[in-house]
């Protein structure tokens, strides 16, 4: 089995999500002996945002009309989607920045959402192609958004990630959530404790 471990927080050693993804990956190593893990730190090596050149993955890679910049961007997109397709489990750490995911993670998602690779269009509409994968989302939030209708309406992190991976066919999406990280020591401890319970629930699922 192969696991793709992705971090996107810009907070380095102070990052909550980086700690959560490390714990999840170690848990999955224990549950799946021989698990191969590949690591991608988007805070360090994020792809460029989409541009006319970065849309090169929609063109034939051998097309002589491609510019050097387009060929480079096409190669970046190809490497990222190939890496994703090879993984059985994908662990993604995403803090909540201004009600949504980090721009670095959005740039990666824009590169791997490729028609014909991760989804396809049919006469009946789009069909996802990643149904054989498990995606584990490790999320952190300064406030608490999951316990109220108003909070859910403001949160475009978990909802967005579930939507785009669902669009790409993933039905096994699991969530580890640490909320209230910036609301005082007691709230932070409570949020981290809940995240650890979520991780333990993953262990039970992995062993099932």
Which residues does the annotation place in the binding site? Answer: 9, 140-143
State how far the Cα of 160 lies from the Cα of 97, in Å rounded to an integer: 13
pLDDT in tens, 176-192: 999 999 999 999 999 99
Q: Where does the pLDDT of residue 170 fall: very low under 50, low under 70, confident under 90, or very high at 90 and above?
A: very high
The residues that bridge with 140 in the sheet, in sequence order, are: 95, 178
State mean pLDDT over 13-41.
Answer: 96
Q: What is the DSSP letter of 125?
A: E
pLDDT at 204: 72
pLDDT in tens, 36-55: 999 999 999 999 998 888 87
pLDDT in tens, 103-140: 999 999 999 999 999 999 999 999 999 999 999 999 99
Alpha-carbon distances, residue 13 vs 9, 54, 173, 188 (angstroms)? 10, 31, 26, 17
pLDDT at 53: 86
Go through the domains of the chain in sequence order and give each one's CATH number.
Answer: 2-207 (3.40.50.360)
Q: What angle do CA 154, 155, 160 make, to 5 degrees?
A: 130
Q: Where does the pLDDT of residue 56 fall: very low under 50, low under 70, confident under 90, or very high at 90 and above?
A: low
State mean pLDDT over 71-87.
Answer: 94
State how far the Cα of 70 lies from the Cα of 91, in Å rounded to an integer: 29
Which residues does the annotation place in the binding site for FMN? Answer: 9, 140-143
Lowest pLDDT segment from 54-58, 72-76, 104-108: 54-58
**Burial, 94: exposed, middle or buried (Cβ in 10 Å; 0-12, 13-18, 19+)?**
buried
């Amino acid at each position: 089995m192969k696991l793709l471990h992705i971090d996107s927080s810009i907070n380095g050693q102070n990052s909550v999500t980086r700690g959560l993804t490390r714990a999840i990956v170690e848990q999955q190593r224990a549950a799946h002996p021989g698990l191969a893990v590949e690591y991608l730190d988007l805070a360090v090596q994020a792809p460029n945002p989409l541009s006319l050149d970065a849309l090169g993955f929609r063109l034939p890679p051998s097309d002589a009309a491609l510019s050097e910049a387009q060929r480079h961007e096409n190669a970046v997109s190809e490497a990222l989607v190939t890496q994703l397709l090879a993984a059985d489990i994908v662990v993604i750490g995403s803090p909540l920045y201004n009600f949504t995911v980090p721009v670095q993670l959005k740039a990666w998602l824009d590169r791997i959402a490729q028609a014909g690779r991760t989804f396809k269009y049919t006469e009946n509409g789009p069909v996802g192609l990643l149904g054989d994968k498990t995606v584990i989302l490790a999320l952190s939030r300064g406030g608490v958004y999951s316990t109220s209708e108003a909070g859910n309406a403001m949160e475009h992190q978990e909802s967005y990630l579930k939507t785009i991976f669902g669009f790409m066919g993933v039905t096994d999406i699991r969530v580890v959530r640490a909320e209230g990280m910036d609301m005082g020591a007691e709230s932070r401890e409570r949020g981290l404790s809940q995240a650890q319970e979520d991780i333990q629930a993953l262990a039970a699922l992995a062993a099932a």
